[in-house]
Structure 1
Amino acid sequence: MRFIFKTSYAQDIRLAKHGGHVFWYSALLLALLAAPWLIDEYWLAQLTFVLIYGIAGLGLMLLTGFTGQFSIGHAAFLGVGAYTEAVLTNAGWPFPLAMACAALLAAAVGVVIALPALRVKGIYLAIATLAFGFIVEEVLARWESVTGGNAGLSLGPPAIGDWQIDSSAGFYFICLVIAVAATLGLLNLLRAPTGRAFVAIRDSEISAQSMGVYLAWYKTLAFAVSAALTGLAGALYAHKLMFMSPEQFDIIQSIDLLLLVVIGGLGSVHGAFLGAMFLIGMPQVIALGKDHLPDVIGQAPGLQTLVYGLVLIGFVLFEPMGLYGRWLKIRTWLQLFPFYRRGMFKRQKSFQKSDRLK
């Protein structure tokens, strides 16, 4: 069991709390840098998708996990970023500038949806974001002169001047650099006063407002930053697929993103990437398991949806803290063994508002 004796405030807000963090995260970074030479091209492509979905998960995690604003229309921001990147790249814009514009336009759209969302919360906010997702999908399908409509829109690999990045390894390194930068940026935001205001709003809006937190400003800012990160992931997503259609950014994609943060672990940066690994890896596991199932089950068209639903129900009932929460329990068990208490992580009883008045 490691005990950290803190002697300064700077030590308290340091990203790496102790030497173990420095060692393990450095080892992880080295493994990711060596991945193109250690795994074949197919698995490198899957790892690239994990990084892209991890960036999108960071955006939704900031909004839902840290600010407490529920959204089931986040695929709309992914689509805005992807189509902006495609249109600007096809117009001859350099890759970095087009990607920055994709993030900025997605952030602007996030501000637009945040303004009416300030008046609602809970299930009503979810319905508002769901309606927004349908609107964006319809715009992408109907605005044929720009988006190509239902026929789709294609684009080439990213290019910086005359340098075209058309190899899988080159694009993987771009995604890795952006994922690391987005993660560090989010971690610094969360330990700043802005991030603490986000968490205060999530825990109690009334308490946060009584402490001087301007709810409208911080909720709008959370939507903008979340949409910008998701739009950034959408720009990378567009270059990875090289073809887009409005159906790729429908309600199913939004539910996948929500599934990502819930299963990964709400309220944790690690959970965004753990959830992305689940989202990308689960179809591979299902495909491998089909060979060992009877044909009536293995060839059923709704098998993947059924498995996703059962996994989500299992996590909600037995592990609401997600994959990262399970890892925290395993780590604590290893550190305290044989003195680990079984009820250490037992959830406290929750009361309805009417019960608190009794």
Structure 2
Amino acid sequence: MRYLFRTQYRQDIALWRHNGDRFWYGLLTVLVLIAPLVLGEFYIGELGAVYIFAIAGVGLMLLVGYTGLISLGHAAFLGIGAYVNAVLLARGVPFLITLPVAGLFTALCGAAIGRPTLRMSGLYLAIATLAFGSIVGTVFQKWTSVTGGFDGFAVPTPYVFGIAVDSATGIYYVSLAVLAFVMWISANLLHSPTGRAMVAIRDSEVSAQSMGIHLARYKTLVFAISAGMTGLAGALFAHYVRFLAPDAFDVLLSVQFVTIVFVGGLGSLRGAILGAMFVRLLPQFIAIVRDDLPFGIGRLPGLEPSLFGLVLVLVILFQPDGLNGMWLKIKRWFQAFPFKRQASFRRQKAYAKSERLR
């Protein structure tokens, strides 16, 4: 088992804890780069969708997992990024400009919704963001001169340095590059004073305010950053689906984003990626086993949302740390083997934030 001894302050802000992290993450980078050479187009397309959902999951993880602010309106931010990117492309703006513009515009929308909801928390904040998502969905439906309404419109093909990004492989590499950028930004943010302020707000707003942390400023900033990252995911999502319609950004999509955060593991960037893999690959698994399920279960309407809700409840009850917590337990088990102790790996009682002082 590896023991880390911190001997300098630089180690507290380093992105890599030790050389083992550099090796394994470097190997993972090589594997994802060569994946299109060995996998079929269908699997590459699904992996590209996993990366897109992981980008949105990382943005929501900063808001929910690290700041403690719940949101049920992130599907609206995804839609805003998708429509801004597609509309600008249709007007001849290059993709390398439309992508960051979509993220920046969505960040401004996030700051606009974050500012008036600063005094809300918990269920009230969730309802407010859900209402915001409904308003944005109505705008997508009624603003037919721009969005096309329910008829929608086809997303133009993007070009990067004169190369058309119209294949599953092209979307895969662009999504991978954006995900790496978002992870790098998030990791550096969490190691900065801003990241520590976010965690302080999550643990106790009263204590954070007593230490001089400006709650309104940091909450608005986190809302903007989270929405901006989701807007980047929306711009890529537009090219993944290739046709935009308002009903693609409904409340079920927001629930899927929340599922990514909770199933992956609150307070973990790795958990956002694991949760995105689960959420995107679960429908494919359902499609494979649907015909083999007994008693006509596979033909029941609403099977997929029901499974998402069931999994979310089971994770909260029996595995509060999510898939990332399971990974850490398995990792520690192998590190301690064969000198493990069974008592060390039993599920410990996890308390909600409101129960810690009882």
Aligned length: 356
SS at match of 1:342: helix
Q: Given the alignment of the two structures, is residue 206 of structure 1 paired with residue 196 of structure 2, yes or no?
A: no
1:305 Cα deviation from its structure 2 partner: 2.4
Distance of 1:266 and 1:36 partners within structure 2: 31
Aligned to 1:339: 340
Are the aligned partners of 2:13 and 2:192 in contact in 1 as well (CA < 8 Å)? no
1:48 Cα deviation from its structure 2 partner: 0.1
Distance of 2:69 and 2:310 partners within structure 1: 25
SS at match of 1:67: coil
Aligned to 2:116: 116
2:167 maps to a residue whose letter is S
SS at match of 2:343: coil
Distance of 1:351 and 1:19 partners within structure 2: 35
Unaligned 5+ runs, structure 2: none
Identity %: 49
1:156 Cα deviation from its structure 2 partner: 2.1
Residues 24-43 of structure 1: pairs in structure 2 closer than 5 A: 24-43=24-43
1:278 maps to a residue whose letter is F
Counterparts in 2 of 1:149 and 1:317: CA distance versus 1, 3 Å: same
Distance of 1:92 and 1:340 partners within structure 2: 63
Are the aligned partners of 2:117 and 2:128 in contact in 1 as well (CA < 8 Å)? yes
Are the aligned partners of 1:266 and 1:322 in contact in 2 as well (CA < 8 Å)? yes
Aligned to 2:271: 271
Counterparts in 2 of 1:351 and 1:89: CA distance versus 1, 3 Å: closer
Aligned to 2:253: 253
Alpha-carbon displacement from aligned partner over 1:143-183 (angstroms, at most 9, x marks no partner): 11111111112112211364322232222111111111110
Aligned to 1:241: 241
Q: Given the alignment of the two structures, is residue 187 of structure 1 paired with residue 187 of structure 2, yes or no?
A: yes
SS at match of 2:156: coil
Distance of 1:76 and 1:289 partners within structure 2: 32
Are the aligned partners of 1:333 and 1:340 in contact in 2 as well (CA < 8 Å)? no
Are the aligned partners of 2:256 and 2:308 in contact in 1 as well (CA < 8 Å)? no
Distance of 1:12 and 1:286 partners within structure 2: 43
2:343 maps to a residue whose letter is R
Unaligned 5+ runs, structure 1: none
Counterparts in 2 of 1:309 and 1:351: CA distance versus 1, 3 Å: closer
Counterparts in 2 of 1:200 and 1:341: CA distance versus 1, 3 Å: farther
1:325 Cα deviation from its structure 2 partner: 0.8
Distance of 1:285 and 1:15 partners within structure 2: 35
Counterparts in 2 of 1:15 and 1:82: CA distance versus 1, 3 Å: same
Are the aligned partners of 1:201 and 1:208 in contact in 2 as well (CA < 8 Å)? yes
SS at match of 2:341: coil
Higher mean Cα deviation, 338-347 or 303-312? 338-347
Counterparts in 2 of 1:144 and 1:315: CA distance versus 1, 3 Å: same
Distance of 2:356 and 2:348 partners within structure 1: 24
Distance of 1:103 and 1:167 partners within structure 2: 23
Alpha-carbon displacement from aligned partner over 1:203-235 (angstroms, at most 9, x marks no partner): 111111111100000000000000000000000
Are the aligned partners of 1:74 and 1:257 in contact in 2 as well (CA < 8 Å)? yes
Are the aligned partners of 1:265 and 1:320 in contact in 2 as well (CA < 8 Å)? yes
Distance of 2:354 and 2:212 partners within structure 1: 27
Alpha-carbon displacement from aligned partner over 1:1-31 (angstroms, at most 9, x marks no partner): 1011221111222111111111110111000
Are the aligned partners of 2:265 and 2:271 in contact in 1 as well (CA < 8 Å)? yes
Are the aligned partners of 1:86 and 1:153 in contact in 2 as well (CA < 8 Å)? no
Distance of 1:350 and 1:311 partners within structure 2: 19
Consecutive aligned runs of 4 or more in structure 1 exceeding 4 Å deviation:
348-356
1:295 Cα deviation from its structure 2 partner: 5.4
Higher mean Cα deviation, 167-176 or 214-223? 167-176
TM-score normalised by L of structure 1: 0.95
Aligned to 1:318: 318
1:87 Cα deviation from its structure 2 partner: 0.3
Are the aligned partners of 2:59 and 2:227 in contact in 1 as well (CA < 8 Å)? yes
Distance of 1:107 and 1:350 partners within structure 2: 30
Alpha-carbon displacement from aligned partner over 1:36-79 (angstroms, at most 9, x marks no partner): 11110000000000000000001100000111101011111000
Higher mean Cα deviation, 281-290 or 190-199? 281-290
Distance of 1:307 and 1:353 partners within structure 2: 28
Aligned to 1:307: 307
SS at match of 2:248: helix
Distance of 2:284 and 2:329 partners within structure 1: 27
1:347 Cα deviation from its structure 2 partner: 2.3
Distance of 1:140 and 1:252 partners within structure 2: 17
1:29 maps to a residue whose letter is T
